[in-house]
C-alpha cells in the first residue's frame, strides 16, 4: 500500500449487544449481582453500561468467536459507525464518528486494558498503525465513541478502542484449543490455531497463557502487466504470537497483575488490486496487481504491563506501568513511480530497465505511567484524580534503491537514490480529574478535565540524490480538555443522557523539505473539537428488547492534514470541519434462543473551509475521507437444545455500506474535477454449529455473495497505465472450526 510512508514519499450501547454479535460482557474488572448486566470500564471504574453517560459498544470474546471475527474488517458489522481503511494487516486507519482527514496522526486511540498502545505522534505514521491485536481469549472489546480526552488523553478525538483481556483465575485449571481451516474463492487455503491454559498456583496466585498462529492464503495475482512479474496469490499473510498474564491477589484489597503480549503480523503484497481510476473497479476482470519488486510488510508488537490495585480504605489506588514497542519493516515497489521520473521505466512500451524498491523501518518505543485515586462506593459524590506520564521515541529509516531488473540486487554503478532517517521524541505530562454528583436516585452529573503538556523534537538527515538536508525541529504545547455529562435514569434499565466534551490531537514539529515554498510551516498545531451528544439507553424489564440511540454534532477546528511538498510529507493545519450523525442499535429476543439485532449509523462529515488546492486538494463541502454516509448491519441467530447437554445454532448477518470519499488528492482532483469516491457494497455472512459442552464444531461462510468491497484507494502513479490501486475485502470464504476445552 503506497500511502502514508512519512519521511520521504509520504502520501504520508445497551443494545450494542448484537445477536450472536455482542453478547453480555463478562466483567473482569467488576461483577454484578445480575449476571445479565453489562459491566464495562469505559470511565476507568467498573460500571453497568446503562450507567455510563456516553455512547459505548461492547463486543465480548464469545461473540467474536461465534462470528469468526479476527480482524478489524470483521468488527465492522458488530460496532455501529466503526469504519476501517486497510490493505495490510496491522496497517489500518480506524475512524469513528467521521473524524478523519487522511493525515498522519491517529484520531482513535488504542488501549489494551490500562495501557495505551501505538504512538501519539504524527511523525511515526500513528494514523495507520492502529494496534490490530489478536482477540483469542479476550474478555471483550469496548468501543468508546466521541472525544475521550479527559480520561484517555491525546489522539482520542473520534474515540477509543479498548481490548480488555481475560484475567487469570484462581478457581481451577482451565484449558482450550481451537483450530480452523478456511478456503477462499480464487485463492489459497488458510489455517488457524490457538490455545489457552489457566493454571492456579495457589489460592492467591494464577497464571494464564495463550498463543495463536494464523496463516491466511493469498488471493491476488501479478499477471505481468507493464512488464511486471508473473506470480499467483502474492498477498499471503501470517499472524502469530501469544499473551501471558500473572495475577497475585492475597486479599480483596490488594492485587498485582503482570502481563506480556507478543504478536507478529507478516504479510507479502498488500491486498490491493489495480483499478480504473474513474470508477475504482478492478481492471482485467480479476483481482490483480503489477509487482516488479516483491513487497512485504512485517510488524511486531511487544507490550509489557504491571498494574497494582490497592484499597486504601477511603479510596482505591491504581498504578499502571507499561513498556511497549511497535516495529514495522517493509518494502514497497516504486518501479513505475520513480522509474518514470528517472528514465528507467518506459510507460509507452511497459518495460523497465531496472526495478526500484523502497525499504522502510518504523520503530516506536513507549513508556507510560499512570497513577490514579478513586473514591469508593456510591455516595453523594464520586471522584477520581490522577497523573499520567508518557515518553516515546520514534524513528523512520528509508532507503530507495535501484535493482537489476527482476532481482533485489542493487544495480552496480547507479548512484544511491536515498538513504535517509527521521527520528523523533514525544514526552507528555498530564493531570486529570473526574467526578459524578448524584442528585437523588435518578439524576447524575458527571464532569471532568485534563491538563496536558507535550514536548516534541525531531531530526532528519541522510544521503543520496533525493535526500533532504539535515534538519531539526521542536515544539511544545499546553492543552486543556473537559467533559460534562448529565444523566437521568428513568428506570433500572433505562436512561437518557447528554454529553459535551472537548478532545485534542497533539501537533508537532515539521521537517521542511529542501526547496519548499515560502510559508511551509516549521510546526503544526494541535487540532481540537467539541462534541455535543444526546442519547438514550433502554431495555425492557424482561430484557427481551433493547435499544440504544445517540445523536451527535461535532465542531472541529485547526484540522490536521497531510500535504505533499516536493515529494515529502508535511503535516499542516487546515480550517474547520463538522460531523453530524445518529448511531443506533436494537436487539429483540422474542423467545428463548432466538435473537435479532439491527445496528447502523448515519454520518454527515464534511469540510467547512477550503484546504490548499495544490498541496491537499480538499474544498468546503467535501466529505471527510473514508466516512460513508450510512452503514447498516442486520444479525439473526437461533440456538436450541439437542438434549444431553448439547446444543446447536444457526445465524447470519448482512452489512451494507454506502459510498465514501477517498483521501484528498490534488492530482486526482485536477484530472477528474472531483474527489475519489469508493463505491458502496454489501457483505453477507452465515454460520452454524453444534456444541457438546467440551467440544464444539462450527461452520461459517464470509462474504457469501463474493462482494468486491473497496476499503482504500491510491492514485499516486505507482501502477502501470495510470491505474489506481484499491484495497479490497477478502473474497468469499468457507471455514470449519473445532474447539475443545477441559
Q: Which three cell numbers stand for residue 286?
A: 480479476
Mean pLDDT of the chain: 90
Residue 672 neighbours by CB under 8 Å, 6+ apart: 277, 278
Sequence spans of domains, the chain: 14-741
Proportion of the chain in helix, strand, coil states, percent, rounded to 5: 5, 55, 35
- Average of per-residue pLDDT across 305-317: 96
Q: Please, which residues have CB within 8 angstroms of residue 285's CB and are 6 or more apart in sequence?
A: none
For residue 24, the SS3 value is coil
| Residue of 215, 200, 134, 142 lying closest to 168 (CA atoms) | 200
Q: What is the pLDDT of residues 75-111, one digit of tens each?
A: 888 899 999 988 889 999 999 999 998 888 899 999 9
Q: How confident is the model at residue 511 (pLDDT cuts 50, 70, 90)?
A: confident
Q: Which residue has the cell 507490550?
A: 303
Place of cell 504491563: 305
Mean pLDDT of the 688-716 span: 94
Separation between Cα atoms, residue 85 and residue 328, nearest integer Å: 18
pLDDT at 469: 79
Is the model's pLDDT at 4 over the cut of 80?
A: no
**Residue 3 in this model has a pLDDT that exceeds 50:** no
Q: What is the mean pLDDT of residues 554-560?
A: 94
Higher pLDDT, residue 717 or 368: 368
Q: Which architecture characterizes domain 14-741 according to CATH?
A: Beta Barrel (2.40)
Give this prediction's pTM. 0.92
Nine-digit cell string for 383:
471522584
Q: In angstroms, rounded to a whole number, what is the distance separating the alpha carbons of residues 536 and 548?
A: 6
Residue 629 has pLDDT above 80, yes or no: yes
Residue 32 pLDDT > 90, yes or no? no
Taking 90 as the threshold, does the pLDDT of residue 355 lie above it?
yes
Distance between CA atoms of 389 and 392, rounded to whole angstroms?
10
**More confident of the two residues 506 and 553:** 553
Q: pLDDT tens, 276-308?
A: 999 999 998 889 999 999 999 999 999 999 999
- Residue in this structure with the C-alpha cell 483469542, named with its chain if needed: 136
**For residue 690, which of 742, 640, 635 has the smallest C-alpha distance?**
640
pLDDT at position 567 over 50: yes
The yes-or-no verdict on residue 255 having pLDDT over 50 is: yes
The three cell numbers of residue 203 are: 489460592
Q: Do residues 373 and 333 lie in contact, with contact meaning Cβ atoms separated by under 8 Å? A: no
Q: What is the pLDDT of residue 381?
A: 93
Instruction: Check pLDDT > 60 for residue 6.
Output: no
Q: What is the pLDDT of residue 42?
A: 83
Q: Confidence band (pLDDT; 50, 70, 90) for 389?
A: very high
**What is the DSSP secondary-structure string of 274-288?**
EE-TTT--BGGGSSE
HSE-up of residue 354 (Cα within 13 Å, Cβ side)? 20
The yes-or-no verdict on residue 422 having pLDDT over 80 is yes
More confident residue, 509 or 544: 544
Task: Say if residue 28's pLDDT is above 50.
Answer: no
Tens digits of per-residue pLDDT, 102-126?
888 899 999 999 999 999 988 898 9
pLDDT higher than threshold 60 for residue 34 = no
Residue 18 has pLDDT above 90, yes or no: no
**Dihedral over Cα of 72, 73, 76, 77: its sign:** negative
pLDDT value at residue 687: 97
Q: Tell me the mean pLDDT in the region 669-682.
A: 93
User: What local confidence, expressed as pLDDT, does residue 612 receive?
Assistant: 81
DSSP 683-710: EEEEEEEEE-SSEEEEEEEESTT----E
| Residue of 312, 287, 509 whose CA lies nearest to 394 | 509
**pLDDT for 24 beyond 50:** no
SS3 139: strand
Distance CA 338, CA 42 (A): 47
Cα 266 from chain centroid (whole Å): 17
The sign of the CA dihedral 47, 50, 54, 57 is: positive
State residue 36's pLDDT score: 53
Q: What is the pLDDT of residues 143-197, one digit of tens each?
A: 999 899 899 987 899 999 999 999 999 999 999 999 999 999 999 999 999 999 9
Amino acid at each position: 500500500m503506497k500511502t502514508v510512508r512519512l519521511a520521504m514519499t509520504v502520501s504520508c450501547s445497551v443494545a450494542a449487544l448484537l445477536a450472536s454479535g455482542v453478547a453480555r460482557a463478562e466483567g473482569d474488572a467488576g461483577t454484578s449481582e445480575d449476571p445479565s448486566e453489562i459491566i464495562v470500564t469505559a470511565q476507568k471504574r467498573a460500571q453497568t453500561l446503562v450507567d455510563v453517560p456516553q455512547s459505548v459498544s461492547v463486543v465480548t470474546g464469545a461473540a467474536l468467536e461465534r462470528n469468526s471475527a479476527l480482524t478489524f474488517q470483521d468488527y465492522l458489522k458488530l460496532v455501529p459507525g466503526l469504519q476501517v481503511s486497510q490493505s495490510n494487516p496491522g496497517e489500518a486507519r480506524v475512524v469513528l464518528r467521521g473524524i478523519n482527514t487522511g493525515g498522519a496522526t491517529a484520531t482513535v486511540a488504542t488501549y489494551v486494558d490500562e495501557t495505551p498502545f501505538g504512538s501519539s505522534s504524527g511523525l511515526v505514521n500513528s494514523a495507520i498503525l492502529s494496534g490490530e491485536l489478536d482477540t483469542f481469549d479476550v474478555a471483550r472489546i469496548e468501543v468508546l465513541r466521541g472525544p475521550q480526552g479527559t480520561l484517555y488523553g491525546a489522539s482520542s478525538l473520534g474515540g477509543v478502542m479498548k481490548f480488555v483481556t481475560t484475567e487469570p483465575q484462581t478457581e481451577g485449571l482451565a484449558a482450550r484449543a481451537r483450530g480452523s481451516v478456511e478456503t477462499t474463492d480464487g485463492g489459497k487455503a488458510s489455517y488457524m490455531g490457538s490455545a489457552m491454559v489457566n493454571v492456579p498456583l495457589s489460592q492467591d496466585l494464577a497464571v494464564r497463557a495463550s498463543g495463536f498462529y494464523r496463516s491466511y492464503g493469498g488471493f491476488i495475482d501479478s499477471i505481468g502487466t507493464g512488464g511486471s512479474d508473473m506470480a499467483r496469490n502474492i498477498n499471503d499473510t501470517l499472524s502469530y504470537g501469544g499473551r501471558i498474564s500473572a495475577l497475585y491477589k492475597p486479599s480483596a484489597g490488594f492485587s498485582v497483575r503482570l502481563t506480556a503480549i507478543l504478536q507478529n503480523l507478516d504479510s507479502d503484497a498488500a491486498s490491493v488490486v489495480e483499478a480504473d481510476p474513474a470508477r475504482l473497479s478492478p481492471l482485467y476482470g480479476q483481482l490483480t496487481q503489477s509487482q516488479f519488486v516483491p513487497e512485504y510488510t512485517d510488524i511486531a508488537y511487544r507490550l509489557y504491563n504491571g498494574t497494582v490495585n490497592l484499597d486504601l480504605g477511603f479510596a482505591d489506588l491504581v498504578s499502571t506501568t507499561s513498556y511497549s514497542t511497535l516495529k514495522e519493516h517493509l518494502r514497497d515497489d516504486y518501479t513505475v513511480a520513480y522509474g518514470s521520473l528517472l528514465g528507467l521505466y518506459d510507460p509507452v512500451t511497459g518495460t523497465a530497465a531496472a526495478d526500484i524498491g523502497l525499504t522502510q523501518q518504523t520503530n516506536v518505543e513507549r513508556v507510560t505511567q499512570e497513577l490514579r485515586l478513586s473514591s469508593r462506593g456510591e455516595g453523594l459524590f464520586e471522584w477520581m484524580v490522577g497523573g499520567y506520564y508518557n515518553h516515546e521515541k520514534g524513528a523512520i529509516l528509508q532507503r530507495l534503491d535501484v535493482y537489476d531488473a527482476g532481482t533485489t540486487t542493487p544495480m552496480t554503478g547507479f548512484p544511491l537514490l536515498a538513504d535517509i532517517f527521521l527520528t523523533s521524541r514525544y514526552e507528555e505530562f498530564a493531570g486529570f480529574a473526574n467526578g459524578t454528583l448524584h442528585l437523588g436516585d435518578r439524576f447524575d452529573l458527571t464532569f471532568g478535565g485534563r491538563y496536558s503538556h507535550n514536548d516534541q523534537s525531531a531530526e532528519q538527515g541522510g544521503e543520496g540524490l533525493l535526500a533532504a538536508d539535515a534538519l531539526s525541529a521542536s515544539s511544545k504545547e499546553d492543552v486543556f480538555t473537559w467533559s460534562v455529562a448529565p444523566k437521568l435514569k428513568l428506570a433500572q434499565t433505562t436512561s437518557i443522557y447528554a454529553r459535551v466534551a472537548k478532545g485534542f490531537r497533539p501537533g508537532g514539529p515539521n521537517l521542511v523539505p529542501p526547496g519548499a515554498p515560502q510559508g511551509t510551516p516549521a510546526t503544526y498545531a494541535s487540532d481540537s473539537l467539541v462534541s455535543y451528544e444526546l442519547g438514550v439507553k433502554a431495555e425492557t424489564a424482561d430484557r427481551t428488547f433493547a435499544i440504544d440511540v445517540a445523536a451527535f454534532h461535532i465542531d472541529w477546528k485547526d484540522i490536521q492534514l497531510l500535504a505533499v511538498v516536493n515529494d515529502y510529507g508535511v503535516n499542516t493545519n487546515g480550517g474547520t470541519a463538522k460531523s453530524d450523525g445518529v448511531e443506533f442499535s436494537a436487539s429483540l429476543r422474542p423467545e428463548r434462543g432466538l435473537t435479532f439485532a439491527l445496528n447502523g449509523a448515519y454520518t454527515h462529515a464534511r469540510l467547512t473551509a477550503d484546504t490548499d488546492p495544490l498541496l491537499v486538494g480538499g474544498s468546503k463541502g467535501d466529505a471527510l475521507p473514508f466516512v460513508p454516509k450510512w452503514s447498516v448491519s442486520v444479525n439473526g441467530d437461533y440456538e436450541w437444545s439437542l438434549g444431553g447437554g448439547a446444543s446447536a445454532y444457526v445465524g447470519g448477518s448482512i452489512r451494507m455500506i454506502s459510498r465514501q470519499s477517498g483521501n484528498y488528492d490534488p492530482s486526482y482532483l485536477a484530472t477528474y474535477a472531483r474527489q475519489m469516491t469508493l463505491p458502496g457494497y454489501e457483505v453477507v455472512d452465515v454460520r452454524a454449529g453444534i456444541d457438546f459442552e467440551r467440544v464444539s464444531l462450527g461452520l461459517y461462510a464470509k462474504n457469501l455473495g463474493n462482494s468486491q468491497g473497496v476499503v482504500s484507494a491510491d492514485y499516486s502513479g505507482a501502477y502501470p497505465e495510470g491505474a489506481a490501486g484499491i484495497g479490497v475485502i477478502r473474497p468469499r470464504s468457507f471455514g470449519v472450526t473445532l474447539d475443545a476445552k477441559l
